[in-house]
Structure 1
Amino acid sequence: MLDVRRLRLLRELARRGTIAAVAEALSFSPSAVSQQLSVLEREAGLPLLERTGRRVRLTPAGRHLVGHAEAVLERLEQADADLAEARQGLAGALRIGAFPTATRAIVPAALVTLARRHPRLEPMVCETDPAAVAHALRGGDLDVALVHEYDFVPAPPEPGLETEPLYSESMYLASPAGAGPDPADTPGPDQGAVLRAHRDRPWITATPGTLCHAMTVRACQAAGFGPRVRHQVDEFPTVLALVAAGQGVAVVPQLGVDRSAGCEGSGVSLTRLPMQRRTKIAFRSGAGGHPAVAAFAAAVREAVPPELASPGR
């Protein structure tokens, strides 16, 4: 009989590529991961891995088994959801991942609603960049998360995960007052022209490896230039403070503008760009029906500010 825990390790190896990466993600030692995968091969009765030096890759049988593992793990999530629904009331920990602007502007109101409706549920929030959410969900470090994608950085399909749309928000070019185009509060400015007007200025981006960083770089590249990055900052209030101080220009989302101190009237001009950031609720495949996940999804939908666009708009 194949062991589900070992199937999970095989799936993670297929996603992460190395035994060391699997071990680090799941808090095992590399030797323990290798040992468990060897046991899985004996259970399967045929080779699942090909070892070349320090690296391993899945055999055709291994890749085929990963497909079955995805289906098995999804059914286990559904079974857990069914059992949770049969119990009286929600209780215990619910591990929630969210990126900083959602953590500040959306999540607190959702937690108030959860506490009122399900007082025995214990939500635990961890700020997590969307680029790291898939591994955290599959590894069991998170139960549900808010993730986002940009027009220039679409989210790739993630095996073992499902998402539901939550809201969309506009993007703005933030520049020092008087340093470029007049602010425009309606969509329609030529995005390339707006960005190119600041091509020779220093830029402020998020830290490399984040979706926000990739979004700014790719938007500028689409406009025909590479940004000259001076500062790398993840918190949008700090980004806008640096813009106001004349330290550069930046692309910021609507929530980063609406909920930040010191925007227009404080040395920052905002030009609306014809691009969007879309936020989704993410969870493991089969877990959407889990009462705790569904309760959070309902609460977070009610917490979305009315000025944000509804899904699909």
Structure 2
Amino acid sequence: MLDVRRLRLLRELSLRGTIVAVADALAFTPSAVSQQLSALEREAGIALLERTGRRVVLTPAGLNLVEHAEAVLARLEQATAELADARQGLAGPLRIGTFPTAARAIVPAALTTLAAHHPGLEPMVSEIDPAGVAHALRAGELDVALVHDYDFVPSPAEPGLASEPLCAEYLCLAALSPETAETTEGASISRWRDAPWITATPGTLCHAMTLRACQAAGFTPRVRHQVDEFATVLALVAAGQGVALVPQLGVAEPVPGVTLTRLPVHRRTRIAFRRGADGHPAVAAITAALRTAVPEELRPGP
């Protein structure tokens, strides 16, 4: 009989690439991960890994077993959800991941609704960049998370995860020059090709979005500042330090001297969870609460 915990380690190895990365993510030692994977090979009766020096790659049999592991883990999530649904009342911790804008604009109202309907739940919110959500969900560090993607930076399908749409918002070009602003959708960012730019830090989706949006307009932005918090970005724009792309929810309130030009570029937010966990009553409860917290104009259509 194949051990489910070892199947999970094999799946993580296929995604993270090295035994050290798996060990770091799951709080094991590399030696313990290697021992468990060796035990899985003995259970399977066939080589699942090929070791070349320090590198480890999955054999065809190992890759095939990972596909079965995905199905097994999804069914276990479903079984857990059904057992939780059979119990009376919801209680215990609910670990929620979110990016900063949603943490300010959506999550607080959702938690108020959640507390009113399910006072036994203990929501625990952590800020996390969407790029790190998949690993955190698969590792069991989060139960549900808000993620986003952009028109120029679509999110790839993640093994073992599922998601549902929550909201969509347009992006604005934040600039200090009101006399050149356009207020209708369809404005081009190419007019700011010679301006200094303020972007998010490298490695984030927001940073990639700005670079690709500018490249699609025919230029590479001249980056002066790299800042993640949109309130700070807008303050720098107001100080004449450059222009920036800011999502609709990133503008908490008007900033004197800053003009926002609506662009035909959008950010979409989704609720992500482990595949099979959508039927879990706690996941369903926070999903419903998040939907009620989204402003009407940002909700997806039927």
Q: Could you list the per-position Cα deviations for residues 113-139 of structure 1 after superposition, in whole angstroms to 9, with x for gaps in the alignment?
A: 111111110000000111110000001
Residue of structure 2 equivalent to 1:85: 85
Q: What is the DSSP-based 3-state SS (H/G/I as helix, E as strand, rest coil) of the residue aligned with 2:159?
A: coil
Residue of structure 1 equivalent to 2:180: 181
Query: Structure 1 length as normaliser, TM-score?
Result: 0.94
Counterparts of 2:227 and 2:30 in 1: how far apart (Å)?
Answer: 34
Alignment map for 1:1-313 (pairs within 5 Å): 1-178=1-178, 181-184=180-183, 186-189=184-187, 191=188, 195-257=189-251, 259-260=252-253, 262-263=254-255, 266-308=256-298, 310-311=299-300
Cα offset, 1:6, TM superposition: 0.7
Cα offset, 1:312, TM superposition: 5.1
Cα offset, 1:188, TM superposition: 2.1
Counterparts of 1:290 and 1:177 in 2: how far apart (Å)?
Answer: 50
RMSD: 1.2
Counterparts of 1:30 and 1:311 in 2: how far apart (Å)?
Answer: 44
Cα offset, 1:198, TM superposition: 1.3
Q: What is the DSSP-based 3-state SS (H/G/I as helix, E as strand, rest coil) of the residue aligned with 1:187?
A: coil
Counterparts of 1:221 and 1:34 in 2: how far apart (Å)?
Answer: 44
Identity score, percent: 74
Q: Could you list the per-position Cα deviations for residues 28-63 of structure 1 after superposition, in whole angstroms to 9, with x for gaps in the alignment?
A: 111111111111111111100011111111000000
Counterparts of 2:3 and 2:154 in 1: how far apart (Å)?
Answer: 35
Q: Could you list the per-position Cα deviations for residues 4-35 of structure 1 after superposition, in whole angstroms to 9, with x for gaps in the alignment?
A: 11100100111111111111111111111111
Q: What is the DSSP-based 3-state SS (H/G/I as helix, E as strand, rest coil) of the residue aligned with 2:233?
A: helix
Unaligned runs of 5+ in 2: none
Give the partner amino acid of 1:210: T
Counterparts of 2:107 and 2:225 in 1: how far apart (Å)?
Answer: 28
Aligned residue pair count: 302
Q: What is the DSSP-based 3-state SS (H/G/I as helix, E as strand, rest coil) of the residue aligned with 1:209?
A: coil
Cα offset, 1:70, TM superposition: 0.2
Counterparts of 2:18 and 2:210 in 1: how far apart (Å)?
Answer: 30
Counterparts of 1:61 and 1:253 in 2: how far apart (Å)?
Answer: 45
